Chains A and B, each alone.
Chain A
Amino acid sequence: NKNDVTKDEL
């Protein structure tokens, strides 16, 4: 979901 997208950044 969209939150995983956020967490792929450092």
Chain B
Amino acid sequence: MNIFRLAGDMTHLASVLVLLLKIHTIKSCAGVSLRTQELYAIVFATRYLDIFTSFVSVYNTFMKLVFLGSSFSIVWYMRYHKAVHRTYDREQDTFRHWFLVLPCLVLALLIHEKFTFLEVLWTFSLYLEAVAILPQLVLLQRTRNIDNLTGQYIFLLGGYRGLYILNWIYRYFTEPHFVHWITWIAGLVQTLLYADFFYYYFLRFIGGRGVE
């Protein structure tokens, strides 16, 4: 574990907590894409299949449970909790996210490190996570103005993988044989997709107003 990866995990955790805070306390998911949340639930479900078979550390297992539990409960809240569901913007959140799942699965079947069930699904989760934010970014452009909590959520979610890139650079230079092109390229694409969001976020953040 290095400071970049710890910062990345904490940033990821913070993004999830900000979203849960917004949904649980003010019972609102305005501006949040249910489709992105559904994709993230699939990402964690296919990435953490080894949670029962390979133990890395208490921290690792605990964080996996947190991400699994939070992503599924956020989907549950947005789908079935009547107060929260009412604030869900169904008409605007129309990105065909299932069209993202199949290409990622095909790509994982073609490009992976090992051709095993767990490894292919794990690779699939990497590809899917790289594009999972697209429905949210599209919704963001349609709803124009979003509240600060949603803006913070997206900022933290985009930032965590950027910190992971620093972690991979650090590990590449400090650990022999630490080369994982698939993870690195997927992580880079994922972070680059946030580029224009970060641009507007900093513009607004510096201006002290909400994110538009």
Which residues of B are at the interface with A, using a C-beta cutoff of 8 A?
5, 9, 12, 50, 54, 56-57, 60, 63-64, 67, 113-114, 119, 122, 164, 167, 175, 177-178, 180, 183
Contacts and interface: CB of A to CB of B under 8 A. Distances in A.
Nearest to B59: A10
Majority SS at the chain B contact face: helix
Contacts of A3: 113-114, 119
Contact of A5 (B57, B64, B175): B175
Interface in A1-10: 2-10
Given A2-B178, A7-B56, 12 more contacts: A2-B177, A3-B119, A5-B175, A6-B180, A6-B183, A7-B50, A8-B57, A9-B5, A9-B183, A10-B63, A10-B64, A10-B67
14 contacts: A2-B178, A3-B113, A4-B54, A5-B177, A5-B178, A6-B113, A6-B180, A7-B54, A7-B56, A7-B122, A8-B57, A9-B167, A10-B60, A10-B64
Contacts of B180: 6
Contacts, number: 29
Contacts of A8: 56-57, 60
A8 B58 CA distance: 11
A10 B114 CA distance: 18
Given A2-B177, A5-B175, A5-B178, A10 B113 contact: no
Nearest to B171: A5
A7 to B, nearest CB: 6
Nearest to A8: B56
A6 B57 CA distance: 14
A10 B183 CA distance: 11
Nearest to B177: A2
Contacts of B122: 7
A10 B175 contact: no
A8 B59 CA distance: 10
B116 to A, nearest CB: 10
B53 to A, nearest CB: 10
B9 A10 contact: yes
